[in-house]
Amino acid sequence: MTHEKKTIGIFGGGQLGMLLAEAAKNIGFETNIYCPDHESPAFKFATNQTIAEYNDKQILVQFIKSVDYITIEFENIPQNTINFIAKSGKLFPSSDAIKISQDRLMEKDFCVENHIATNEYTDVVNISDLSHWNYDKKSVIKTRQLGYDGKGQRVINTKSEAEQAFKEFGNRPCILEEFVDFAIEVSTISARDTHGNTFTYPPSENIHKNHILNTSCVPASIDQKTENTLYEISKKMIKNLNYIGVLAIEFFVLKDNSILVNEIAPRVHNSGHWTLDGADISQFEQHIRAISQLKILNPKLIFKTKMLNLIGDDVNIWKDKNSSKNEKIYIYGKTETKMGRKMGHVNFLEEFKY
């Protein structure tokens, strides 16, 4: 190792934290995972663990002192906590970038301000705001915050359906957006370091089942021009966010090949799990490198990869099997199998034929 042993603090203890901790360990870092849950998968590879609520100021102070760099594995950490950690100067990505991606309205506004195409939307603070929308076309109402895997969002066709959903979401601030009749969904995983380097992995083609990511395939079935545009948009977003670390961007590609940004995630992402085997450097290592002021690398694509998520009981088919040359199995070790819960994933690899 060329660098001395430093410690990376990671907020969140799920599978993303686990794979980040493993990558950090592999390149010579220690880790401290901060999570309220005693049985977090991320503890498996962590050097240290901090089990506490995210707003426990005393523990936060100790935690910040004990680490050199801090990052997050999920964006829904309370904003007060994000602001508090940010003051240490150790947090990457920045609190501003995290705040934007915690809020669907801010994400969409960011796209518009930066001339990046996104679907039409409007801000809904009160139920009366639902009157300023044209219901001739199908729409989607989404809570601005804390939505994931289809939670806090509903497709609607009429104003009364929108009102019903708004009330069921607890009258929380929402956005109402155009339903997109997309041809395919793709995402990019980009990284930017403190030395000004950026890198974007080849886009993955994503298929969702019940609003949860089911498969991600690389290469995606898009033409070179579309792929190049995705690289351009990704580079523009990561630079304009002044972002350090790995950023995931989800897109809709329409039948005419036009591209709209759906949403962003300020972290490593499920649709980037293919990089664990399909590329020679994973998204997890890139993120650790970027946030610890190392230079990111230029990973190479080594396999065509299809990543399959193991959701709920799907894990039972795979949990006792061993990985093989072409099937790499990852079981997260969560104690309870729940419907809709991500329990593991498999990467299916195929050689490139030239």
Task: Select the span of 63-71, 177-185, 233-241, 314-322 touching ligand AMP (CB under 6 A).
Answer: 177-185
Using the structure block, give the residue that is written with the tokens 């709920």.
312
Give the x/- contact pattern for ligand AMP in 220-259, rule: CB under 6 A: ------------------------------x---------
132 φ/ψ angles, rounded to the nearest 5 degrees: -90, 45
177 binds ligand AMP (CB under 6 A): yes
DSSP line for 140-189? EEEESSS--TTTTEEEESSHHHHHHHHHHTTS--EEEEEPP--SEEEEEE
Q: Which DSSP letter does residue 219 get?
A: S
The distance of closest approach from Cβ of residue 206 to ligand AMP in the complex, given in angstroms and rounded to an integer, is: 7
Strand partners, 174: 124, 143
SS3 assignment, position 7: strand
Out of 22, 30, 75, 185, the residue judged to bind ligand AMP by CB under 6 A: 185
How far is residue 259 from each of residues 187, 200, 240, 242, 265, measured CA to CA in Å?
A: 11, 17, 19, 22, 18
SS3 assignment, position 234: helix
The distance of closest approach from Cβ of residue 208 to ligand AMP in the complex, given in angstroms and rounded to an integer, is: 4
User: For residues 15 and 118, which CB has a smaller minimum distance to ligand AMP in the complex?
Assistant: 118
Out of 3, 5, 195, 208, the residue judged to bind ligand AMP by CB under 6 A: 208
Using the structure block, give the residue that is written with the tokens 């994973």.
282
Distance CA 260, CA 251 (A): 6
- In terms of Cα–Cα distance, which of 289, 267, 290, 282 is closest to 73? 267
Task: Select the span of 27-35, 122-130, 172-180, 237-245 touching ligand AMP (CB under 6 A).
Answer: 172-180
Q: Which DSSP letter does residue 129 get?
A: G
150 binds ligand AMP (CB under 6 A): yes
CA angle 342–345–346, rounded 5-degree value: 165
179 binds ligand AMP (CB under 6 A): yes
Give the x/- contact pattern for ligand AMP in 69-88, rule: CB under 6 A: --------------------
Q: Burial of 90 by CB count in 10 Å (0-12 exposed, 13-18 middle, 19+ buried)?
A: middle
User: For residues 188 and 262, which CB has a smaller minimum distance to ligand AMP in the complex?
Assistant: 262
User: For residues 180 and 331, which CB has a smaller minimum distance to ligand AMP in the complex?
Assistant: 180
The distance of closest approach from Cβ of residue 237 to ligand AMP in the complex, given in angstroms and rounded to an integer, is: 16
22 binds ligand AMP (CB under 6 A): no
User: For residues 81 and 153, which CB has a smaller minimum distance to ligand AMP in the complex?
Assistant: 153
107 binds ligand AMP (CB under 6 A): no
Task: Select the span of 1-9, 87-95, 109-117, 179-187 touching ligand AMP (CB under 6 A).
Answer: 179-187
Would you tell me which residues interact with ligand AMP (CB under 6 A)?
119, 140, 147, 150, 177, 179-180, 185, 208, 211, 250, 262-263
